Amino acid sequence: MKRILTYGTFDLLHYGHINLLRRARALGDYLVVALSTDEFNRSKGKECYFSYEERKQLLEAIRYVDLVIPERSWEQKADDVREYHIDTVVMGSDWEGSPRFEYLRDLCEVVYLPRTPEISTSQIKSDLGMATS
């Protein structure tokens, strides 16, 4: 069984998120999503519309997602890869080359998938006149 892991906030869930999750799941047999907690998001200067628990429920309802775990810090990624026996970490292409993920190549494959260009949570918040961070 090939196990895939991705990270994200997944606030204001939209079809770009679904595209990423679908393509990530297609790379393996089991998809783990590490969902940023409210506390971790605040430490990054991000404020979500939906709480962690609400975002978790949304992700758990998506057929491509097998397991949702909390992302509490930048540093937990290597531990997640080991604990969940991950074969591939998948992220959006805007993270390509980032040291936050590149060091994981020593533990597993790292794949960057193109973002859905015409949609983003930041764009939705901007269109709705909400503050973005």
User: Which residue numbers are catalytic?
Assistant: 44, 46
**Rounded Cα gap, residues 78 and 104, in angstroms:** 6
Q: Which helix (H) or strand (E) holds 79?
A: helix 77-83
